[in-house]
Chains A and B, each alone.
Chain A
Amino acid sequence: MYYIDPHIHMVSRTTDDYETLAKMGCVVVSEPAFWAGYDRGSVDGFRDYFEQLTTFESRRAQSYGIRHYTWLCINAKEAENVSLSREVIAMIPEFLDRPGVLGIGEIGLNKNTKNEATVFLEHLDLAAKTDEQILIHTPHLEDKYQGTRMILDMLNDDRRIDPTRTLVDHVEEHTVRHVLDSGFWAGMTLYPVSKCTPARAADIVEMCGPERLLVNSAGDWGPSKPTAVPDFILEMRRRGHSESLIRRVVYENPLQFFQQSRGFDFEPPEASGATAATAI
């Protein structure tokens, strides 16, 4: 089965991971800009990062037949530096017309602070003015519920934001319905310890249905598994769910969401005459 990983940080992964993903049926990855593990010191640090995301990374993926797309922002962890954040937000439009750019992301909150909210709102304003799609990070652990509700408050306050072009990521059992009920897309991140597991993600699909739900690995430089989406596929199959339901969540839903971005030019393998991958 072909699948799409809609949130994975490939700059932190090896080329071997691209090969493994390709063997497992991955045809598209989308990579939001995120925290490097340290706070970058200048706007030029971000300019270099966006250069890597929009040039080298897409070439590295293409050599394994995977299409690489990306999202641009300064992440919430670095948003405490409001002046640097504003410099980065002002620079982002230099890259928005590059091939493979899908929108603004992953913006959001980390510790739900005033500065994070300020920078989040300024990213929303940029997305609205440039008609870009939005990909949103929600906080971890005990801060997730309050942070998700704050994010939804801010999104719902801005009438320019189209929920059907906005993905709220890292939902879990206590936040998924708030996101879906407000009309947004919701992403479930499959992590070994925090966030969701393949089994709990399958539970959420069973409880909420597949509409506007995505699953991703968010594979990055920390403990994470880039092949987590195939783990979800296997869990769904083990429970006896239909191939059409599984395909909807891991392929058709992200495809439908991404197709709303002007930078998404992916030609589905079935349209190009290729036969379906049978690796999993």
Chain B
Amino acid sequence: MISERTRLAVLEEEFLPVRAKILEIAASLDRIQRAEGEGSRDPNWLQIQSALETLLEDQAGRAERVQMLFSRPYNDQWRETHKHSTS
């Protein structure tokens, strides 16, 4: 629906905030890499890499896809799993 603003108008509004957020992410990644020790195989690091790749996809719905990337998948057999769990 309903946003009557042009793409260029939105881009102009969003440019500086997006620039600032990208710099924050860049600095965070640098901070992680400057720290000592291993971490390049850590699941959280790999998730971040996948999320960054998602941002570069040329298709709307990035926010939803990033959300799904950071989500446990839905198990439609959850009732069976709970029936046998002891929690």
Given contacts A114-B87, A174-B68, contact A146 B74 (CB under 8 A): yes
Q: Provide the bound-state CA to CA distance between A153 and B4, in Å.
A: 37
Residue of A145, A203, A245 touching B71 (CB-CB under 8 A)? A145
- Map CB proximity to B onto A228-242 as digits: 1 under 8 Å, 0 otherwise: 000000000001110
> Does the CB pair B74–A149 fall under 8 Å?
yes
- The docked-state distance in angstroms from the alpha carbon of A152 to that of B5 is 35
Which of chain A's residues have a CB closer than 8 A to the CB of B72? Answer: 142-143, 145-146
Number of A-B contacts (CB under 8 A): 60
How far, in angstroms, from A144 to B74 measured CA to CA in the complex? 10
A209 at the interface (CB under 8 A from B): yes
A145 to B64, CA, bound (A): 11
List A residues 104-151 near B (Cβ within 8 Å): 112-115, 117, 141-146, 149-150
B contacts with A, residue count (CB < 8 A): 21
**Smallest CB–CB gap between A223 and chain B, Å?**
18
- CB-CB contacts of B73-87 with A at 8 A, as 1s and 0s? 111101100100101
B20 at the interface (CB under 8 A from A): no
The answer to the question of B16 belonging to the interface, with a C-beta cut-off of 8 Å to chain A, is no
A207 at the interface (CB under 8 A from B): yes
In A239-262, which residues have CB < 8 Å from any B CB? 239-241, 245
SS class of chain A's interface: helix, strand, loop or mixed? Answer: helix
> Chain A interface: which size bin?
20 to 34
On whether the beta carbons of A114 and B64 are closer than 8 Å, the reply is no
Residues of A188-223 whose CB lies within 8 A of B: 200, 203, 205-209
Given contacts A173-B64, A173-B67, A174-B64, contact A145 B2 (CB under 8 A): no
Does B48 belong to the interface (CB within 8 Å)? no
**A239 close to B3 (CB less than 8 A):** yes
Closest residue on chain A to residue B61 by CB atoms = A173
| Residues in B whose Cβ lies below 8 Å from that of A206 | 1-3
- Which residues in A have their C-beta under 8 angstroms from that of B74? 145-146, 149
Q: How distant is the Cα of A28 from the Cα of B63 in the complex, in angstroms?
A: 32
Interface residues of B in 34-87 (CB under 8 A from A): 63-64, 67-68, 70-76, 78-79, 82, 85, 87
20 contacts between A and B (CB under 8 A): A80-B87, A115-B87, A142-B71, A144-B71, A145-B67, A145-B74, A146-B72, A146-B75, A149-B74, A153-B79, A173-B67, A174-B67, A174-B71, A206-B1, A209-B1, A209-B2, A239-B3, A239-B5, A241-B2, A241-B3
Nearest first, the 6 closest Cβ-Cβ pairs linking A and B are A174-B67, A145-B71, A114-B82, A173-B64, A173-B63, A149-B74
Contact surface of B with A, Cβ cutoff 8 Å: 1-5, 63-64, 67-68, 70-76, 78-79, 82, 85, 87
